[in-house]
Structure 1
Amino acid sequence: MSTLTDDTSVSILEEYLQASINQISIDRSILHNEAIRRIILQRVVANFQYLQELGTSTLPSVQFLPLNSIPYKIRECLNKLSGSQESESALYEISNLVAEWLMDAPQEYQNFFAKYIRAIPLMSSRILMAALSDAEFSTNNGSLISSVSSFLKSTDKRLAQTAATFLLTCGGTLGRDFLWQTLSTQELPHSQLVKGISELLS
């Protein structure tokens, strides 16, 4: 899990908070007191932020990937993709650099990208997925594939098309399963387009 944005830290903070409370050796009825809960929460959050900066955790179930483990140039690219100032051509160049790096990056970073790709502007998401497809990126990460499959529901035709292409070219059997399950169980704005792509690429 990365520490690049506040959004990506929410679920792991919740996990850390629950795990911390589970380790507290006090009468659980005390936790019903709002003032005490607030004090505990403040301390847990402060400790979480400190450990997050270090890239370590005192709880075995909660692990962090240190920010400095991502090359500075890639961090800059991720920040640019998160904004809305770049032109479409610039976004393609930036996404190609990210895709090239992610090809050889540790698998753990795919969990981060599962949330990151849904948090950035839709144009950035589309172009990043296209760059990964062009690079013949391969993944069996369920979280990332699930995130990409959510774009199949988009009213944006290009976004839905790019998501379908990613699932089929990058997601292997799992990606195809997600795509066909979505097609068969949900009404998609561009279902015929998605189905046509799936038949073509399959």
Structure 2
Amino acid sequence: MRVRSKFIVVEGLEGSGKSSAVKKIADILRQKYGLVDLIITRDPGGTLLSESLRNLIKKGVNDELITDHAELLMFYAARVQLIEQVIKPSLSKNIWVISDRYDLSSHAYQGGGRAIDVMLLKALRNLVIKNFQPDLTFYLDVSPIVGLSRIFIRDTSLDRIERESLDFFNRVRSCYRLMASKNHRIITIDAHQTLQDVHKEIFIYLKKWLMVQGA
């Protein structure tokens, strides 16, 4: 593909189908566009340090309460490590990057869900990652009841965040939807559909976007 490497992100609540969407995007780029230089990663995660922080965020440490701001800072520590150690070096080598979550998650979960002040979130983002943003984001929109029911069917051992209340996830979803409506780089997909239909929509939007990019 003659288009310069891009950074693509998939966002959404638990049970929205993010992981399968990430794999589908990679398959489309490889099979339909002959893209060989491509990596898949996740946020938080993607490096040894970031994966360790992911484990702390999801499992906690014994019975110690993780404060909202400590959680937020761990997310950003994991994120900046991923950016500097994986994403930026890959893009500089013309390797495409597809990530399961990125910075939008912090604004939805810690901003919307935890009600952390939006000015603090913006200041932290500007300080840590500056203006480094994805070229394209797919937001898979699903109601918390549907998303969490999918998670529970698959695995009853929920992590620390998955055990939050429906009110929490409703706030997260509302924040996601608001941010998606204001950003032309975010494509909203109805994730209540079958997985096959979700993937069809992703393919359609991705194809249109790549045409604009000159692919």
Higher helix share: 1
Structure of higher RCO (CA pairs closer than 8 Å, 6+ residues apart): 2
User: Normalising by the residue count of structure 1, what TM-score does the alignment of the two structures yield?
Assistant: 0.36
